[in-house]
Amino acid sequence: MRLQARGNPGVALAAWRRCIGVDTTGRAVVKVFAPPSTIELDTLPDHTIFVLRAVVQLEFAHPDDIARSTMLEPADIEDALRLGLNRGYFRKLEGRYWVTWAWFRPITRFLQRRYFLSSS
């Protein structure tokens, strides 16, 4: 879990919450931490990767902001946002999107590996 969070308290708390559960008898149990699989990120189309990057950088991104920063067609942005919501990459509130804590570190590592974000 330490490598997953890399000093980010929000990521650490989200990972810890995924490790705690309740069994069928109602007792609290601690499960082994399993980070999300990032294999599916490698199969994303380019326009979706650009939207991922924009949402990471804008933090609380409106589709209009994403369009200005990526210069993508609105339909491509809508498709990428819908895919991100369905896969759990994003949350949405009042028309704005942000990366969920569960996916924050895997997505930022993926974007750094693909040279879409600097690693500093």
Three-class DSSP labels, the chain? CHHHHCCCHHHHHHHHHHHEEECCCCCEEECCCCCCCCHHHHHCCHHHHHHHHHHHHHCCECHHHHHHHHCCCHHHHHHHHHHHHHHCCEEEECCEEEECHHHHHHHHHHHHHCCCCCCC
Tens of pLDDT, residues 18-69 = 667 788 888 888 777 666 778 999 999 999 999 999 999 999 999 999 999 9
Residue 2: which pLDDT band, with cuts at 50, 70 and 90? very low
Is residue 118 in some structural domain?
no
pTM of the model: 0.75
- Whether 88 has a pLDDT exceeding 60, the answer reads yes
Same domain, residue pair 1 and 54: no
Count: domains in the chain? 2
More confident residue, 2 or 55: 55
Same domain, residue pair 30 and 58: no
Same domain, residue pair 83 and 104: yes
Task: Kindly state the average pLDDT of the residues 79-99.
Answer: 96
Structural domain harbouring 51: 39-113
Q: Chain centroid to CA 1: how far?
A: 16
Q: What is the pLDDT of residue 44?
A: 95
Q: Chain centroid to CA 102: how far?
A: 7
